[in-house]
Amino acid sequence: MSETAIITSGPRGTARVHVPAAALAEDKYKYKYLIAIAVTLAAVLELIDTSIVNVAIPHMMGNLGATLDEISWVSTGYIIANVVVIPLSSWLSGYFGRKRYLTGSILLFVAASFFCGASGSLGALIFWRVVQGLGGGALLSTAQATLFEAFPPKEVGIGQAMFGVGVMVGPTIGPTLGGYIVDNLSWPWIFYINIPLGIFAAFMVFEYVRDSAHQQRASTIDGTGILLLALCVGSLQWMLERGERYDWFDSRFVTVLGLTALVSFILLIWRELTIDEPVIDLSVLRNRQLFAGVTMGAFLGFALYGSVFVLPVFLQGLHGMTANQTGMIILPGALSSAFTMAMVGRNAQRLDARVTVPIGALLFFLSMYLLSQLTFDAGAQDLFWPLVFRGVGLGLIFVPLTGATMAELKPHQLAQGTGMFNLTRQLGGSLGIAISATLLSRFTAQSRALLIEHVGANDPTTIARVDGITRALIAKGANAVAAKQMALSIIDRQVMGQASVLAFSRLYLLSGLALLVSMPLLLLFRSGKARGLGPGAAH
């Protein structure tokens, strides 16, 4: 059995103690589950805060005297700050040390949460949301990179499964939790709730997380690279957030944002490839497995966030459900995703992403197909199995895809790889939401125009339907003229409802197809095994 010598000192001088290597390895991973709980909790808080404010917007508008366009910066500012920091996380973690950077980011997130809740003006709220986003940006990629080292190679899948549950469940429960808090307390409490949980996570991270043995500290600060990154990612995210509202490239403002993102992206690539210590190490993308996985992450984000955005709009807009009711309908799917990830994580060494990911994508597409068949009269029971299939499908995708994407990276490249993976998933999600919002209005208008062709003033069925509703309203006490107008209004709402159902149907299929389209990228994978279980084990 191999041994490692440890020098100890005491009253009688120094002594050399030989400790079995296995014992040292066991001690290294002693607090793996506590670390996983701490960093996953921090990541969940960050993800929940991406969507939790949406249900509180009407209350914020009334309390702060803001318009809808002004209050939307509460969400937009947070997300822009978030996506700017994500690709910087690897460099910042190396510069400050993982432990200090992660602990400090959580504390910054907590402090900003307090000031968000205490804000008495719109300007103050937006400012502290941006600060909160800057703190939250570290909580995804740095947390994920930490878990790759916190668990022994054969158990990496377990750590990634715990993290994956947070990533998938966080955006789902955000609106539901926000609705409950706003209904029972007041909107500042959607921020105050972060304080005790965040302090607990920061304490756990400070106590148990250690700096990476492979982290590399830059001797210089690439200020130009940081500025170009902020311009590129910030402009792109801003364009995606506001494109639908300003009718995309018909707006000069959106066009300028798009050009700024493109030009700064080109300059950023040139800058990072030509300096000795880049803020983003693009050389890791030479690894074709990482490149393929990062690209698939964008498609995964598009499909996931696009479908997450569409379903609550369908339930609350067409069926008049509350955020709490919507959350209860979505809950079984979230639980099935968590259960699947737990099973996949425990069996990661036996699974190959090139098998599980296509199966998961097919289940996700089946879910989207079943959702596309829903009618205007669909109830909660009709959504149960489609959402369970979606949860199982996502559970089969996330953990194996993440593990295989990072499998060939050297230890010091992990932070950069996880940063890119999380960034592309986040931007893919923003693109999915932006496209879904745009297509929803366009598909609805197209379907309405098509239906109106069959609901004309001379159509016998329509005439009979209007007459029947009119007589029913007269019987309830309405006069003939008012009853006729009300009947026509009811027919118009029914047509609009059916048009919306047809639009949602097309969007569900689009989300399902987006994930299937990315499957050929798996052919670029040399191995589908997780890190430490395949070719990357040699590192």
Provide the residue ranges of all domains of the chain, joining segments of one domain with +: 1-25, 31-208, 219-278, 286-436+509-539, 446-500
The pLDDT mean for the chain works out to 80
Confidence of residue 26 (pLDDT cuts 50, 70, 90): low
pLDDT at residue 1, rounded to an integer:
44
- Going by pLDDT thresholds of 50, 70 and 90, the confidence category of residue 458 is low
Q: Are 416 and 220 in contact (CB under 8 A)?
A: no
- Say how many C-beta atoms besides its own lie within 10 A of residue 481's C-beta: 9
Question: Which pLDDT does position 60 carry in this prediction?
Answer: 79
Q: Are 403 and 348 in contact (CB under 8 A)?
A: yes
| CATH superfamily ID and name for 31-208 | MFS general substrate transporter like domains (1.20.1250.20)
The mean pLDDT value for 59-77 works out to 76
Q: What is the pLDDT of residues 184-195, one digit of tens each?
A: 888 888 889 889
Residue 473, C-beta contacts closer than 8 angstroms, at least 6 positions apart? 482, 483, 486, 487
| Weakest-pLDDT range from 62-76, 85-99, 143-157 | 62-76
pLDDT value of residue 459: 65
pLDDT band with cut points at 50, 70 and 90 for residue 20: low
pLDDT for position 15:
47
CA distance 291 to 405: 8
**What are the tens digits of pLDDT across the range 80-112?**
888 888 888 878 888 888 888 899 999 999 999
Q: What is the largest CA-CA distance in the chain?
A: 107
How many other C-beta atoms can be found within 10 angstroms of the C-beta atom of residue 28? 14
In the prediction, which pLDDT does 499 show?
81
Overall average pLDDT of the 221-234 stretch? 82
56 close to 74: Cβ distance less than 8 angstroms:
no
Q: Is the Cβ–Cβ distance between 395 and 362 less than 8 Å? A: no
Would 31-208 and 286-436+509-539 be classified into the same CATH topology? Answer: yes
Per-residue pLDDT at 513: 92
pLDDT at 161 over 90: no
Burial class (CB in 10 A: 0-12, 13-18, 19+), 80: buried
Amino acid at 328: M
The pLDDT of residue 538? 37
pLDDT at 531: 55
Q: Tokens standing for 379?
A: 């109830």
Mean pLDDT of 475-497: 73
Residue whose C-alpha is closest to residue 331's, from 390, 379, 377 = 390
Q: Which helix (H) or strand (E) holds 438?
A: helix 414-452
Interval 316-322 mean pLDDT: 71
CATH H-level superfamily of 286-436+509-539: MFS general substrate transporter like domains (1.20.1250.20)
> If residue 19 lies in a helix (H) or strand (E), which one and from where to where?
strand 13-20
Structure tokens at 321: 């459900």
Helices (H), 209-285: 223-242, 252-274
Select the more confidently predicted residue: 168 or 127: 127
* Whether pLDDT at 364 is above 90: yes
> Taking Cα atoms as reference points, which of 341, 372, 428, 365 lies closest to residue 167?
341
Distance between CA 63 and CA 60 in Å, rounded? Answer: 5
> Of 6-15, 110-119, 372-381, 412-421, where does mean pLDDT reach its minimum?
6-15
Q: How confident is the model at residue 8 (pLDDT cuts 50, 70, 90)?
A: very low
Q: How far is CA 274 from CA 91, 222, 226, 277, 330, in A?
A: 17, 12, 15, 9, 48
Q: What is the predicted pLDDT for the residue at 196?
A: 93
pTM score, whole prediction: 0.80
Alpha-carbon separation of residue 516 from 12, 305, 424, 466, 499 (angstroms): 68, 15, 17, 45, 26
pLDDT at 47 over 60: yes
Q: Please report which confidence band the pLDDT of residue 213 belongs to, taking 50, 70 and 90 as the band edges.
A: low
pLDDT band at 519 (very low <50, low <70, confident <90, very high): very high
Residue 115 has pLDDT above 90, yes or no: yes
Gap between the Cα atoms of 344 and 507, Å rounded: 29
Task: For residue 202, name the pLDDT band (cuts at 50, 70, 90).
Answer: very high
Q: How confident is the model at residue 360 (pLDDT cuts 50, 70, 90)?
A: very high
pLDDT of residue 455: 67
User: Positive or negative, the Cα torsion across 97, 99, 100, 104?
Assistant: positive
Across 25-34, 175-184, 361-370, 429-438, the highest mean pLDDT is recorded for 361-370
- Which residues, at least 6 apart from 284, have a Cβ–Cβ distance to it below 8 Å? 290, 409, 413, 416, 417, 420
